[in-house]
Chains A and B, each alone.
Chain A
Amino acid sequence: MRYDLDKSSNYFASIDTLTVRFEQNVSSVLFGFYIEKLINLDYIKHLVLNDKCHSIATFYELVLRKIIFLKTHLKI
């Protein structure tokens, strides 16, 4: 995962629906780090968690990131 994503320079700024499917358990910190590099989470309208291997920690990453971003913005 790390290798593939590091190489990728694509950034998807306007994805409407994000479907997340994990083949195996992943580190939520690593997932949070890479998902922000790849996708503009602010734009997501529909989040689909498909299949197994989801954890509350990775779900938190998807839901909370935007809030944390907004909070740091407000401080500035």
Chain B
Amino acid sequence: MNKLSITSNHRILIKQIFQKKNERLLLLLSQRLFHLNLFYDGVISYETVQVIRYYFPHLKSFSACLPHFEDFRDAIPAFIRQMKSLQYVHIGLEGDNDKKNFGTQDMYDWFRRHNILYEFKLYIDTYTNSIHIWL
């Protein structure tokens, strides 16, 4: 098994996977997984993103739903740079970015402005409010 997808699930399971007491499971997963998709009814926390950076530095693809873009924009470039094997990132955003006048153009500009030095392909899906990044 090298790919795990968790979809429309309770956030409890995702929380539990990353808990200290389940570290054995996490270590086994970290040895095996190259693709991790966490799409379920809810966003993952900043702490979980940090844990993923630590345990899964070799991921080739990663998908998750994150809270508002402005909360995560500082974390994303570091995440992308640290995950050396990453080829594809899909970030779902939680609602109302439009309400805050934070549009897709701003997201695009923001990615361009940051020192992600290599070329990347960015696809912004306004319908599902998500960003797909091919590195």
Could you list which residues of chain A lie within 8 angstroms of chain B, going by C-beta atoms?
A: 41, 44-52, 54-56, 59-60, 63-64, 66-67
B1: contacting residue among A46, A52, A60, CB under 8 A: A46
B interface majority secondary structure:
mixed
15 A–B contacts, CB within 8 A, in A order: A45-B1, A46-B3, A47-B3, A47-B5, A50-B9, A52-B10, A54-B10, A55-B13, A56-B16, A56-B22, A59-B13, A63-B28, A63-B29, A64-B25, A66-B1
**Closest Cβ–Cβ distance, residue A61 to chain B (whole Å):** 11
B8/A50 in contact, CB under 8 A: yes
Which B residues are closer than 8 A to A by beta carbons?
Answer: 1-10, 13, 16-17, 22, 25, 28-29, 35
Question: A41: which B residues are within 8 A, CB to CB?
Answer: 1
Dominant SS among interface residues on chain A: mixed
